[in-house]
């Protein structure tokens, strides 16, 4: 019985399946799902107030990252695999829609970076976006961690 309870608790902690109706997208790498604030682990997306330069034009790259995430999720079911908590007590997790990692999707499309300080998982996806000049890799930008220091 104790073993079964442990397995059930583990399943609850590892998997969270929810419909997008219980979802609020904060920015390109943070959501609130069923009241729980979740920060996507291993990536860092531009901040909402962050702009990039595309030619001579300022582009709201932080807002674009948020919109891309919202469009990807739409009204689908989200599944998150929790990895712990961060300094701000947010849940760190990798979240999926239709078995596709939202983190990988954002990095591979050039609207988030592999957060090498914490993970090496998405470096190949970042390299792909960079080589193909996708998303913010086609613009002049500041890394989000540098933007936050200002």
- Report pLDDT digits (tens) over 15-58: 444 445 699 999 999 999 999 999 999 999 999 999 999 999 99
Which residue's entry shows tokens 């998303």?
135
Determine, yes or no, domain membership for 72: yes
Average pLDDT score over residue span 102-130: 97
Residue that wins the pLDDT comparison between 87 and 19:
87
Query: For residue 43, what pLDDT is reported?
Result: 98
Determine, yes or no, domain membership for 3: no
Q: Where are the beta strands (DSSP E) in the chain?
A: 15-19, 23-27, 30-33, 36-40, 43-44, 52-54, 57-59, 77-85, 91-97, 100-101, 113-114
Determine, yes or no, domain membership for 1: no
Provide the pLDDT confidence category of residue 7 given band limits of 50, 70 and 90: very low
Determine, yes or no, domain membership for 6: no
Q: Is the pLDDT of residue 66 over 80?
A: yes
Task: Check if the beta carbon of residue 50 is closer than 8 Å to that of residue 62.
Answer: yes
Closest CA to 40 of 118, 146, 131: 118
Q: Is the pLDDT of residue 75 over 60?
A: yes
Average pLDDT score over residue span 6-14: 37
Segments forming the whole domain that contains residue 129: 11-149
Q: Is the pLDDT of residue 131 over 70?
A: yes
Closest CA to 73 of 23, 112, 120: 23
Average pLDDT score over residue span 75-101: 95
Determine, yes or no, domain membership for 98: yes
Closest CA to 30 of 130, 107, 102: 102
Please give the tally of structural domains in the chain. Answer: 1
Query: What is the share, in percent, of the chain residues with pLDDT greater than 90?
Result: 81
Closest CA to 109 of 101, 120, 117, 121: 101
**pTM to 2 decimal places:** 0.85
Q: Domain of 100: which CATH number?
A: 2.40.50.90
Query: What is the share, in percent, of the chain residues with pLDDT greater than 70?
Result: 86
Average pLDDT score over residue span 62-88: 95
């Amino acid at each position: 019985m104790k073993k079964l309870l442990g397995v059930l608790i583990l399943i609850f902690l590892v998997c969270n399946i929810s419909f997008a109706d219980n979802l609020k997208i904060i920015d390109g790498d943070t959501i609130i799902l069923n009241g729980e604030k979740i920060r996507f682990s291993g990536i860092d997306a531009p901040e909402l107030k962050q702009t990039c330069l595309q030619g001579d034009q300022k582009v709201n790259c932080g807002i674009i990252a948020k919109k891309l995430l919202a469009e990807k999720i739409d009204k689908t079911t989200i599944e998150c695999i929790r990895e712990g908590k961060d300094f701000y007590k947010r849940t760190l997790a990798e979240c999926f829609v239709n078995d596709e990692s939202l983190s990988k999707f954002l990095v591979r499309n050039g609207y988030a970076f592999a957060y090498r300080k914490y993970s090496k998982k998405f470096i190949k996806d970042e390299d792909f976006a960079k080589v193909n000049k996708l998303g913010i890799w086609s613009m002049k930008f500041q890394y989000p961690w540098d933007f936050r220091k200002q």
